Amino acid sequence: MIGMVQAGLSRYLSEKYDSKTNPKSRKSLENICLRGVVFFNLRPNKNIEEFAKMMAKRSKSRWGNSIGYAMIPLWLRPENDIFEYIRRAKTIMDRKKLSLEPLFSYVLLKLTVEVFGFKALKNLATRIFGRSAIILSNVPGPSEEISIFDHQISYVAASISGVPQALIIHMQSYVNKAIINLGVDLDVIPDPHHLCDLIVESLRMMKSTAEETNSAELNV
């Protein structure tokens, strides 16, 4: 997901601000440095658990949120090799998964709300998240189709509001679909649909390039 977002966002910023692709701009994409907040699910069991099992006695399933976060630098450069975004994303995410940053952030926020209350938590979260530009979240949804009061659910989309970031990207899976949901500050990103199209197009490029590479290796 991060590789896909980096590729799409690089193309978007290149069209807007890079002097190499936009003659009206005097900036360079290499001078743009953005950081994102990535959320981590800290539950031992990452799968969706049945409600009956969670209600059972001596159940080890946790109630409530167990979510940590980590700050990551985003690679925003024009690359001829579309997989370079994935390589860099994998490198930084492997490093973050082995670190204690997601666990430490979860404990910090939990202690803050328990000791000082929600107002202190809000101030702390605003100071932390205010130093980043993007929020990234990836949530696995139901693997089977569901309905509510006999109304079939076609897709699931999630988002949040009230955060200082100019761009919020949620990816929510549902059966065999993946919904990409963008929340933007229109003063910063006036054309969010174009940005979303570039992100989706980056995913298609990665998929087609991977298929071509596998086909070439089989032919050899």
Contacts made by residues 42-48, CB under 8 angstroms, sequence distance 24+: 42/66, 42/67, 42/68, 42/102, 42/103, 42/106, 46/140, 47/140, 48/140, 48/141, 48/142, 48/143
Specify the fold of 2-47+62-219: Chloramphenicol Acetyltransferase (3.30.559)
pLDDT at residue 91 greater than cutoff 60: yes
Mean pLDDT of 78-86: 88
For position 58, what pLDDT does the model report? 66
Where residue 97 falls among pLDDT bands split at 50, 70, 90? confident
The more confident residue out of 55 and 103 is: 103
pLDDT value at position 23? 61
Q: What is the pLDDT of residues 151-208, one digit of tens each?
A: 988 888 888 877 888 889 988 888 888 888 898 888 888 999 999 999 999 999 998 8
Rounded distance between C-alpha atoms, residue 42 and residue 100, angstroms: 11
Query: For 112-149, what is each residue's pLDDT tens digit?
Result: 989 999 889 888 888 888 888 888 888 888 888 888 88
pLDDT digits (tens, 9 = 90+) for 21-75: 666 655 666 777 888 889 888 876 656 666 566 666 666 666 666 788 899 988 8
The stretch 87-97 carries a mean pLDDT of: 91
Sign of CA dihedral 186, 165, 130, 15: negative
- Tokens 């549902």 locate to 174
Report residue 132 as tokens.
């980043």
> What are the domain boundaries of the chain?
2-47+62-219
Radius of gyration of the chain (CA): 20
Tell me the β-bridge partners of 137: 170
Question: The pTM is what?
Answer: 0.78
Question: DSSP readout, 165-205?
Answer: -SEEEEEEEETTEEEEEEEE-TTT-S-HHHHHHHHHHHHHH
pLDDT score at 193: 92
Q: Which residue reads 């966002």 in tokens?
A: 9
Cα–Cα distance, 68 to 40 (Å, whole number): 5
173 strand-pairing partners: 178
Cβ count near 171 (within 10 Å): 20
Q: How confident is the model at residue 87 (pLDDT cuts 50, 70, 90)?
A: very high
Residue 199 burial by Cβ neighbours in a 10 Å radius (0-12, 13-18, 19+): buried
Q: What is the pLDDT of residue 201?
A: 93
